[in-house]
Amino acid sequence: MEPNPVVKGSLTTIILKLLEDNGRMYGYEMTKAVRESTANKMSITEAALYPALHKLVEDGLLTTTSEKVDGRIRKYYALTKQGKKETHSKIQALKEALDSVQLILNPKLSNG
């Protein structure tokens, strides 16, 4: 079974959360981390991931450093000070949004 793409609009926040938890990561590592933590149910596609990473750097939320490991280039990403600040509020906002959708999918039956 192919893993499904992650919930739309959540990618940026997921990246920030991964970096908050792990300090620094490279792109390919993030795709594996998501597949693992969701038991292969969801994945982030590289075609969505890399542009999102570049935008976060552009917006000043991430910094990047390249390293050669085993003959291959890795671009590590880490949160900037500003990135750390915004991470908290974005995670909070996403959690609340998810909770609201849950409320709609599991509405209160209480009318009596």
The residues that touch DNA, with contacts defined as CB under 7 A, are 5-6, 8-12, 26-29, 32, 45-48, 50-55, 69-75
Which pair of structure tokens corresponds to residue 50? 């890399």
Q: Quick one: which H or E segment has residue 44?
A: none
Interacting partner of 96 out of DNA, a second copy, none (Cβ under 5 to 8 A depending on kind)? a second copy
Interacting partner of 65 out of DNA, a second copy, none (Cβ under 5 to 8 A depending on kind)? none
Interacting partner of 42 out of DNA, a second copy, none (Cβ under 5 to 8 A depending on kind)? a second copy
Which residues make Cβ contacts (< 8 Å) with residue 87, sequence separation at least 6? 16, 17, 19, 20, 61, 79
Q: Does 88 engage in binding with a second copy (CB under 8 A)?
A: no
The gap from C-alpha 39 to its chain's centroid, in whole angstroms, comes to 16
